[in-house]
Chain A
Amino acid sequence: EPEVTQTPSHQVTQMGQEVILRCVPISNHLYFYWYRQILGQKVEFLVSFYNNEISEKSEIFDDQFSVERPDGSNFTLKIRSTKLEDSAMYFCASSIQLVLSGNTIYFGEGSWLTVV
C-alpha cells in the first residue's frame, strides 16, 4: 500500500538552529499537509499546500516556518530558528483531493523534534 514517508524519524537540535523535516507524499496526491503534536496535547494543523503554494495555514505557522516542494517528490518543512516550544512530533500528510470532500488523508509516521 502506498505510504507517506518522513525523515528523520528523530532529530535533536540546539535552540536557534535551523531544522528541515522531509517528507515524500504519496505519488499521485495533490494536497500536502504538516501537522504537529506536542507531547500530551492534541494534533494541530500547521499548513496545507496545493499547486506549489500554501493554501491554508494556522496561527502557529509564523515567519519562522516555511514549506517547499523542491522537486516532484519531496515536501519539506523548515523551521528557521528553533525554540524550545517547537519540540513536538511533526506529521506530514497527503490526500489525492480535498479532505473536506471526503477523500482519505494519509499520515506519515512522524518526525520527532527535540529542541534543547
Chain B
Amino acid sequence: KQEVTQIPAALSVPEGENLVLNCSFTDSAIYNLQWFRQDPGKGLTSLLLIQSSQREQTSGRLNASLDKSSGRSTLYIAASQPGDSATYLCAVIGGATNKLIFGTGTLLAVQP
C-alpha cells in the first residue's frame, strides 16, 4: 500500500531564504507526482506535476525534482516571500489508478 510522507511537518523561515520541502513515497511504481498548495480554509492549487519519466519541473521560483527509484521528491522554493506561506502537499498516482494519494503536508511560514 502506497504511503506518502512529508518532512518537515512545519517550517518557518525569514523572507528571502531558499528552502527545500521533502516528500517520500514507499512504492516507486508511480505515474506522476504532484505538488499542491493549500491556503487556510481553501482548496488545493496544483503547482507542479512531474511525470514518472521526468527528473524535474520548474515554474517561476519553484523547482520540483523526482527520484523515482529512491521514492523521493523535493520542492525547492527560491527567494521565499510572505505570500508563499501555506501548506504544501505532495501526492502521487500509481498502480493503474486515477486517485491521488496525499502526504500530510508541510506548513510553511515565511516571516517578513
Contacts of B105 in A (CB 8 A): 42
A25 CB-CB contact with B under 8 Å = no
Contact of B93 among A4, A91, A99 (CB under 8 A): A99
Contacts of A65 in B (CB 8 A): none
Query: Please, how many angstroms separate the alpha-carbon atoms of A42 and B42 in the complex?
Result: 15
Query: Please, how many angstroms separate the alpha-carbon atoms of A56 and B95 in the complex?
Result: 13
B interface residues with partner A (beta carbon < 8 Å): 4, 31-32, 34, 36, 41-46, 49, 51, 89, 91, 93, 96-105
Question: B100 near A91 (CB under 8 angstroms)?
Answer: no
Who on chain A is nearest to B97 by CB?
A56
Min CB distance A35 to B, Å, is 8
Question: B98 near A99 (CB under 8 angstroms)?
Answer: yes
A107 CB-CB contact with B under 8 Å = yes
A interface residues with partner B (beta carbon < 8 Å): 4, 31, 33, 35, 41-45, 48, 55-56, 58, 91, 93, 98-102, 104-110, 112
Contacts of A44 in B (CB 8 A): 102
Who on chain A is nearest to B102 by CB?
A43
Min CB distance A90 to B, Å, is 11
Who on chain A is nearest to B105 by CB?
A42
User: Known: A102-B51, A104-B46, A104-B49. Is A56-B103 also a contact (CB below 8 A)?
Assistant: no
User: Known: A91-B44, A109-B42, A110-B42. Is A100-B102 also a contact (CB below 8 A)?
Assistant: no
Query: Please, how many angstroms separate the alpha-carbon atoms of A110 and B40 in the complex?
Result: 11
Question: B104 near A107 (CB under 8 angstroms)?
Answer: no
Query: Please, how many angstroms separate the alpha-carbon atoms of A100 and B98 in the complex?
Result: 5
Contacts of A41 in B (CB 8 A): 104
A-B contact pairs, 14 of them (CB 8 A): A31-B98, A42-B103, A43-B91, A43-B100, A43-B102, A45-B100, A56-B99, A91-B43, A98-B98, A100-B98, A104-B49, A107-B44, A110-B43, A112-B41
Q: Which 6 residue pairs spanning A and B have beta carbons closest together? A: A45-B99, A107-B43, A43-B102, A107-B44, A109-B43, A100-B31
Who on chain B is nearest to A9 by CB?
B41
Contact of A102 among B32, B41, B100 (CB under 8 A): B32
